[in-house]
Amino acid sequence: MKKRIYIVCITVLIGCNLYTQNILSKEEAIQLTLENNYGVKIAYNNVEVAENNKSVLNSGYLPTLTGNAGATFNKDDISAEFSNGESTSLNGAESSRYNAGLNLNYTLFDGLGRYYDFKRLKEEYNLSELQARETIENTILQLLTVYYDVARRAENLKSLEETLEISYDRLVRSEYQFQYGQNTKLDVLNAQVDINNDSINVITSKQNVINSKRDLNVVTGNSVKREFAVDTSVTFLMQLNKEELLEKVLNNNVTIIQNEKNFAINDFTVKANKSGYLPIVGLTGSYGWNENNNNAASFVAVSTNTGLSAGVNFSWNLFDGGSTITRVKNAKINLENLKLQKAQLRLDVERNFNNAWDDYQNRLKIYRVQEENIRTAINNFNRTQEKFKLGQVTSIEFRQAQLNLLNTELSRNQAKYDAKLAEIVVLQISGELLNVKF
Per-residue pLDDT of 259-274, as tens digits, reads 999 999 999 999 999 9
C-beta pairs of 402-409 under 8 Å, 24+ apart in sequence: 402/163, 402/166, 402/167, 404/377, 404/380, 405/163, 405/377, 405/378, 405/380, 405/381, 406/159, 406/160, 406/163, 408/370, 408/373, 408/374, 408/376, 408/377, 409/155, 409/156, 409/159, 409/374, 409/377
- % of the chain at pLDDT higher than 90: 74
CB–CB of 146/216 below 8 Å? Answer: yes
Tell whether the model's pLDDT for residue 437 goes beyond 90. no
Q: Is the pLDDT of residue 240 over 70?
A: yes
Whole-number Å distance between alpha carbons of 389 and 96 = 117
What is d(CA 245, CA 376) in angstroms, rounded to the nearest whole number?
Answer: 36
Residue 417 per-residue DSSP state: H
Averaged pLDDT, 284-294 = 89
Can you name the residues that pair with 88 across neighbouring β-strands? Answer: 80
pLDDT of residue 314: 94
- 241-250 long-range CB contacts below 8 Å, 24 or more apart? 242/357, 245/353, 245/357, 245/426, 245/430, 245/432, 246/350, 246/353, 246/430, 248/430, 248/431, 248/432, 249/349, 249/350, 249/353, 249/429, 249/430, 249/431, 250/346, 250/349, 250/350
pLDDT for 151 = 97
The rounded mean pLDDT for the chain is 90
Instruction: Kindly report, residue by residue over 358-398, the tens digit of the pLDDT.
Output: 999 999 999 999 999 999 999 999 999 999 888 888 889 99
Residue 147 has φ and ψ, to the nearest 5°, of -60, -50
Q: Mind listing the pLDDT tens digit for each residue in 205-234? A: 999 999 999 999 999 999 888 899 999 999
**pLDDT, mean of residues 15-40:** 82
Residue type, 104: L
3-state secondary structure of 66: strand
Looking at the predicted structure, is the pLDDT value of residue 255 above 60? yes
The arithmetic mean of pLDDT across residues 58-86, rounded, is 84
pLDDT-derived band at 438 (thresholds 50, 70, 90) equals: confident
Cβ distance 210 to 197 under 8 Å?
Answer: no
C-alpha separations of 342 from 114, 244, 262, 281 in Å: 28, 21, 10, 39
Q: Which helix (H) or strand (E) holds 167?
A: helix 113-179
Asked whether residue 1 carries a pLDDT value surpassing 50, the answer given is: no
Sign of CA dihedral 336, 340, 345, 347: positive
Q: How far apart are CA 148 and CA 178, in angstroms?
A: 44
User: What is the spatial distance between Cα 329 and Cα 129, in angstroms, rounded to a whole number?
Assistant: 29
Measured between alpha carbons, how far is residue 120 from residues 266, 278, 279 in Å? 8, 19, 21
Q: For residue 82, what pLDDT is reported?
A: 66
| Higher per-residue pLDDT: 350 or 17 | 350
